[in-house]
Structure 1
Amino acid sequence: MSDFLLTPPEGREPLQASFSDIANPLGLDGIEFIEYTTNKPQSLGQVLETMGFRPVARHRSREVLLYRQGGLNIVVNAHPVDAMGASHGSDVPAIAAMALRVRDARAAYQYVLERGAWSVPTHPEVMELNIPAIHGAGGSRIYFVDRYKEFSIYDVDFVPIPSVDQRPPATAGIHFFGIVQYIGPGRSNDWIAFYNDLFGTELIPDEQRFGIMPKGTLLRTPALDPNQRFMLQLIEPEVNVVDVDERLQRIGLGVPDVLVAVKALRALGVEFVETEAAHTERRGAISKTYLGSVVFELVHSEKE
């Protein structure tokens, strides 16, 4: 959360149309992990495995499991207090956090606090890292991680599952493409300002679209490695829609060939939406909704 989201439009600076590609105030370098909270970790785990993820490690002190494929990490948090808080008492899984890779986590955290971000108090247990975080959409958290190369956060907080490949290959070249965020009516400018001021995001022109779900506003983050840039898609509710809760709604996964990826994932058991309004094509595809809330979107995306 940020003061930007509480300041009326007339009290803010005008939005700029674009920003320099070299503007990277946090030293952002992509997404380290996405965290789901759930009180049904086995069911969510089954969904993730159909998407090609494999469980590779368990948290040392909490009911948390790490799933991985290629360079993607998904954390499934079933710790009772965390699961209840992030889902607001709902039985469906929720995207509770995204962790951003940065050059210096402490410096990045201080930078965003100075610009109005709201801190999240953390209470690490013995042998746990203290990972700084701020509030995001709908009570979610945005973590800052600078241990992601040779020595990572998982080397401290997690114990590898015996006899399991710690680096399972990515199915059909899957990689992180972005996050889809549902926002409240008339809130696009607030969130554009939030991500621009804190992270240096670039506003993508409306005529430049990706995938088969083109609604909303697109932002692209900077990154130290161009291959680690990712998208944020902000979607306001349709007129007369009852559900206007703000939240991180789904993960976008990039693939070099959508049709090949869909074939591979169908072989693993994934079902895709095939309707007149949304159907598999070379630009993208979208999975059916699992467990009431879990959706994966495929987008054509070539690594540089």
Structure 2
Amino acid sequence: MTDAGHDRESVPEMPNRLGLDGIEFVEYATTRPQALGHVLEMMGFRPIARHRSREVTLYRQGDMNVVVNAHPDDARVSAVVDNKPVISAVAFRVRDALRAHSRCVELGAWSVPSHAQAMELHIPAIHGPGGCRFYLVDRWQEFSIYDIDFKPIPTVDPHPPAIEGMNYFGLVQYVNVGRSEDWIRYYENMFDFSVIPEEERFGILPKGKVLKSPCGQFMWQLIEPDPWMESHQAPESLERIGLGVPDVGAAVAALKARGIEFIETSALHPEDRGALTRKVLGSVSFELVHRSV
């Protein structure tokens, strides 16, 4: 077979019109920042910087950033119910943030007004499910978004290593009954996500639909409640973070040693494919998923 013939038969790459290149950070809104910070530290994250003017702390391990937002003037913080932390934002790395934002708005996204103050960085964002936000970030390499707004915590390693090679595998979103197709179209049109085949599943919770980001770096899982729960629907929301690890057993053992508890029943227990931590603070859990290096 000639090279020309090989090129004709090659599978085209997925479209990636926004230039998505992974997740820059996940943000929690909470009225209990110390309690949530303790949970994150048990999971291996370390506080490395604090916002210069707001009650916001940056946690990190490996290449994962988690922002804990407890600023009382933030509407997402004041909307927290029963003091349970919520995933209030996800920041996507993109090639050009302003251009990506403009394209999203043209496609029908609702823009989030900027409340950046003097000497603060404006990060374009659109509204996501359940009142959360999707930020669009194009500064994460030599110059990052944290260089302006955050002040490093003295004596703290700004790049703490990840426990057992953990990294962002994706997020789980709860959707209402019959809404999966609507959200699939949203992620396909807005971000060029694609639905993976039913037989290609990950982790130990195969329910729902799983989409792959166009950059191939993370997944997005949509889960509907069982039909008999339709009359008791909760608001659509981002439910939990998925963490990819090369060895689930080793990661479970390391996290158990740090005090993290996992769900272990006959129907759901840690295994080679994945594991699920028990909820703490009423709403915070993490899912480990096997990911080959």
Distance change (3 Å), C-alpha of 1:143 and 1:20 = farther
Aligned residues: 281
Q: For residues 120 and 270 of structure 1, what CA distance do their matches in structure 2 show?
A: 36
Secondary structure at the aligned position of 1:248 is classed as: strand
Q: For residues 32 and 118 of structure 1, what CA distance do their matches in structure 2 show?
A: 21
Q: Is 1:231 equivalent to 2:223 in the alignment?
A: no
Partner of 1:7: none
CA displacement at 1:245 relative to structure 2? 1.4
Partner of 2:270: 280
> Structure 1: which amino acid aligns with 2:227?
V
> Structure 2: which amino acid aligns with 1:249?
E
Deviations 1:44-78 (A, max 9, x none): 00000000000000001000000000000000000
CA displacement at 1:85 relative to structure 2? 4.7
> Structure 1: which amino acid aligns with 2:214?
P
Secondary structure at the aligned position of 2:65 is classed as: strand
Deviations 1:201-249 (A, max 9, x none): 11111111100011000000012xx5xx110000011123223310000
> Structure 1: which amino acid aligns with 2:154?
P
Q: Is 1:38 equivalent to 2:30 in the alignment?
A: yes
CA displacement at 1:302 relative to structure 2? 1.8
Partner of 2:129: 137
1:200 to 174, 182, 192: 192
Partner of 1:261: 251
2:210 to 218, 233, 247: 218
1:251 to 227, 237, 241: 241
Q: For residues 184 and 261 of structure 1, what CA distance do their matches in structure 2 show?
A: 32
> Structure 2: which amino acid aligns with 1:51?
M
Secondary structure at the aligned position of 1:80 is classed as: coil
Q: For residues 246 and 193 of structure 2, what CA distance do their matches in structure 1 show?
A: 24
Secondary structure at the aligned position of 1:106 is classed as: helix
Distance change (3 Å), C-alpha of 1:127 and 1:94 = same
Q: For residues 83 and 265 of structure 1, what CA distance do their matches in structure 2 show?
A: 33
Q: Is 1:298 equivalent to 2:254 in the alignment?
A: no
Q: For residues 84 and 68 of structure 1, what CA distance do their matches in structure 2 show?
A: 22
1:159 to 151, 154, 161: 151
Partner of 1:50: 42
> Structure 2: which amino acid aligns with 1:173?
G
Q: For residues 121 and 284 of structure 2, what CA distance do their matches in structure 1 show?
A: 28
CA displacement at 1:84 relative to structure 2? 5.0
Q: For residues 238 and 85 of structure 1, what CA distance do their matches in structure 2 show?
A: 29
> Structure 2: which amino acid aligns with 1:50?
M
In the alignment, is the contact (CA less than 8 A) between 2:80 and 2:86 conserved in 1? no
In the alignment, is the contact (CA less than 8 A) between 1:84 and 1:90 conserved in 2? no
CA displacement at 1:21 relative to structure 2? 3.3
In the alignment, is the contact (CA less than 8 A) between 1:187 and 1:236 conserved in 2? yes
Q: Which moved more, 1:286-295 or 1:199-208?
A: 199-208
Partner of 2:3: none
Secondary structure at the aligned position of 2:89 is classed as: strand
- 1:180-199 matches, within 5 Å, as 180-199=172-191
TM normalised by structure 2 equals 0.93
Partner of 1:92: 84
Cα RMSD over matched residues? 1.3
In the alignment, is the contact (CA less than 8 A) between 1:288 and 1:295 conserved in 2? yes
2:18 to 13, 26, 38: 26
TM normalised by structure 1 equals 0.90
In the alignment, is the contact (CA less than 8 A) between 2:48 and 2:157 conserved in 1? yes
In the alignment, is the contact (CA less than 8 A) between 1:39 and 1:83 conserved in 2? no
